[in-house]
Amino acid sequence: CLDKILSWREENKPNDQEEGTELTGGGGLSDKVSLYKGDITVLELDAIVNAANSSLLGGGGVDGCIHKAAGSCLYDECNSLNGCETGKAKITCGYDLPARYVIHTVGPVARGHVGPTETNDLTSCYQSSLRLMKEHGLSSVAFPCISTGIYGFPNEPAADIALNTVKNWIEENPDKITRVIFCVFLETDFAIYKKKMSVIFQDN
Ligand code: AR6
């Protein structure tokens, strides 16, 4: 694993991003976002986002699924990263996943409470993940519903934060992102996202 990790880090230094990548197609907001219900580990994209914990050493939920599907090299690379603070993100290879990279972000532990700290931290998870994509020249990504499982962030406000933060980012960085998939796992989230997306991503 170490050789793989070192060569990947060398090839993917932040300044190595592709320059001048141009969008093809219409480029409207609604062309770039989609809703998918199912397992994030099967998605073949530049990156998938992991709802990790601050140790980055795996756990249950989507984190457990991603580590299982990526294989043990992912654990080894995560083990070399010195953890991650709430609201921040770190990137690794995707190893056995169809996605090239995994962006690990640590959502707030909300336990049903949504105050300014929880809101800011969850917003920061999406922003930090998108910033890492930009730094690495990546253009397609899938997000799970960060913090809404074991960490107990209520689904409806979490969806508002996810959708509005991604929308603002795409508007501010129109040439960088070609595809964002909101990957929901539960029927309740599917219904919430479907309703909100039709309003938030309405092209004028
Ligand atoms: N694909 C997509 N979404 C999934 C999958 C999957 N395979 N499996 C679960 N989900 P959670 P959190 C959904 O609990 O709340 C871990 O132990 C799930 O239904 O995975 O941020 C970490 O190590 C929910 O909608 O993440 C941390 O300790 C969403 O993913 C802690 O859980 C997030 O639920 C993080 O808790």
Q: Is 154 in the pocket of ligand 1 (CB under 6 A)?
A: no
Q: What is the CA radius of gyration of the chain?
A: 16
Q: Is the pLDDT of residue 2 over 90?
A: no
Does the complex come out with an ipTM higher than 0.90?
yes
Average pLDDT over residues 39-45: 96
Average pLDDT over residues 40-54: 97
Q: Is 51 in the pocket of ligand 1 (CB under 6 A)?
A: yes
Please state, in angstroms and rounded to a whole number, the distance separating the CA atoms of residues 102 and 173.
21
**Mean pLDDT estimate for the chain:** 90
Look-up of token digits 């795409």: 170
Please state, in angstroms and rounded to a whole number, the distance separating the CA atoms of residues 196 and 21.
30
Longest CA span, the chain: 49
Residue of 74, 185, 189 to test ligand 1 pocket, by largest number of atoms within 8 Å of CB: 185
One-letter amino acid for residue 186 of the chain: L
| Residue closest by Cα to atom 23 of ligand 1 | 59
Query: Model confidence over 119-162: pLDDT tens digits?
Result: 999 999 999 999 999 999 999 999 999 999 999 999 999 999 99
Average pLDDT over residues 5-20: 56
Please state, in angstroms and rounded to a whole number, the distance separating the CA atoms of residues 47 and 116.
29
Average pLDDT over residues 69-93: 97
User: Do the beta carbons of residue 105 and residue 50 sit within 8 Å?
Assistant: yes
Q: Is 27 in the pocket of ligand 1 (CB under 6 A)?
A: no
**Per-residue pLDDT, 27:** 53
Q: Is the pLDDT of residue 52 over 60?
A: yes
Please state, in angstroms and rounded to a whole number, the distance separating the CA atoms of residues 175 and 126.
18
**Which DSSP letter does residue 40 get?**
G
Query: Model confidence over 22-39: pLDDT tens digits?
Result: 333 345 777 899 999 999
| Residue closest by Cα to atom 19 of ligand 1 | 185
Q: How far apart are the first and last CA of the chain?
A: 48
Q: Is the pLDDT of residue 166 over 60?
A: yes
One-letter amino acid for residue 92 of the chain: T
pLDDT grade for 202, boundaries at 50, 70 and 90: confident
Distances (CA, A) of 103 to 27, 46, 127: 24, 10, 12
CA-nearest of 81, 119, 118 to 103 is 81
Please state, in angstroms and rounded to a whole number, the distance separating the CA atoms of residues 172 and 2.
37
**Per-residue pLDDT, 204:** 54
Indicate the pTM of the whole model: 0.91
